[in-house]
Structure 1
Amino acid sequence: MTYYFLDPQGGVQGPFPAAQMRAWLEQGYFEAMTPVATRPEGPFTLLGLRKQPPPAAPQASKKREQFESLGHELFACCAAGRRREAYALLDAGADAGWKNRNGVACLAVAAMAGDAPLCRALARAGAGVDSRNIWNQTALHDAAAADQPTAVAALVDLGADIEAVDYDGARPAHLACKNGSAAALRELVSRGVSTCVRDYHNWTPAMFALNYPDADTKNLLIRLVQRHVE
């Protein structure tokens, strides 16, 4: 586990390994080493900071801030379809697996934007193809919901789980039917996705298709589901 602490000015310092924190405790920088709170940055050890940390601490914090900044910028580029800028950031060392506070990864927003080449580049750079957000959804869930068939194809080719289940038991096919994503559903069906499986509320993809408000889209979704069942 890594640890962070707050300096006397209220700034975040870290991350630091537990061994380093114990050493500073022995040197008198802290009166105790107790996890005080959990924040997006990680678990904090605080309680009784007696004097300024060693000079190395601000440097570590600055390096971390720079790393976080690159990841945040990469996320924005992936969401906006700025592929060349995203490539440059990856070359500069940006974390391909960076996530926002909701656990949404760069790969997920690239998939929602339908940028298949960028999805492949992120995966090559180390992004987890089945990385989950706070709703336990993967990039394939997002691509299916956003009706991005090229991104769906790219993710499946990269090894994404076509039957990945979120916290509601929904799979990519469920979200495709729920959102009227006929093109994405067609791609999923061509890859052998199940259209009969039920989520935790006992709904199948076909049931979502039957409830889609637009008649033309609903009929297309139903035909795709029935074709797969047959």
Structure 2
Amino acid sequence: ARAMWYIMQSIQSKYSLSERLIRTIAAIRSFPRDNVEDLIGRGADVNGMHGTLKPLHCACMVADADCVELLLQKGAEVNALDGYNRTALHYAAEKDETCVEILLEYGANPNALDGNKDTPLHWAAFKNNAECARALLENGAAVNARDYNDDTPLSWAAMKGNLE
């Protein structure tokens, strides 16, 4: 038992609390929500960047709506950019309508541009996520937004054969 304690201590000291927060969210399927709350309670920065990601972006990537809401309640910046100039809404739009709706409720910009001038609606169309596209459109997403290639979300959907 003592050897295990030393192993856990060395692992815990290897990473900052904020980095462990992102690692925990990334492994959300195997860690309970309590671990995320515990790390935040111990001082992990809900807006801390690790690599190219912030915790909110990571929670959207794994489509964990409860974690998204918790991070926002604890002060995560809803329109913060990651290393690719994407907001969490860009990631949520690919995967999960509930995450999209929560982000929009907290003031996410439905027309935020990423590094390629793609909006969350572009990503929803590209991934054939009709529910997310609907939620974005109902909240003011620009249907005619053009990216750096002059493509609209509709042209992305057509290119992918996603015409729903």
Query: For this structure pair, what is the TM-score category when the shorter chain's length is used for normalisation?
Result: 0.7 to 0.9
Query: Could you say which structure has the higher strand fraction?
Result: 1
Q: Please, which runs of 5 or more residues in structure 1 have no aligned partner?
A: 1-64, 221-230
Q: What RMSD, in angstroms, separates the aligned Cα atoms of the two structures?
A: 1.8
Supply the distance in 2 between the matched residues of 1:138 and 1:67 (Cα, whole angstroms). 28
The reply to whether residue 107 of structure 1 matches residue 56 of structure 2 is yes
Q: Deviations over 1:23-55 (max 9, x none)?
A: xxxxxxxxxxxxxxxxxxxxxxxxxxxxxxxxx
Structure 1 range deviating more: 113-122 or 89-98? 113-122
Instruction: Give the 3-state SS of the residue equivalent to 1:93 in structure 2.
Output: coil
Q: Deviations over 1:39-86 (max 9, x none)?
A: xxxxxxxxxxxxxxxxxxxxxxxxxx9695211111122222232210
2:6 aligns with: none
Q: Please, which runs of 5 or more residues in structure 2 have no aligned partner?
A: 1-11
TM-score, reference length from structure 2:
0.84
Supply the distance in 2 between the matched residues of 1:185 and 1:94 (Cα, whole angstroms). 33
Q: Higher relative contact order at CA 8 Å, sep ≥6: structure 1 or structure 2?
A: 2
TM-score, reference length from structure 1:
0.61
- Give the fraction of aligned pairs with identical amino acids, expressed as a percent: 31
Runs of 4+ in 1 over 3 A off after TM superposition: 65-68
1:93 aligns with: 43
The reply to whether residue 210 of structure 1 matches residue 154 of structure 2 is no
1:55 aligns with: none
Asked whether the equivalents of residues 97 and 127 of structure 1 are also in contact (C-alpha less than 8 Å), the reply is yes
The aligned runs of 1:215-230 (5 Å cut-off) are: 218-220=162-164
Supply the distance in 2 between the matched residues of 1:123 and 1:150 (Cα, whole angstroms). 14
1:183 aligns with: 131
The aligned runs of 1:160-171 (5 Å cut-off) are: 160-171=108-119
Number of aligned pairs? Answer: 150
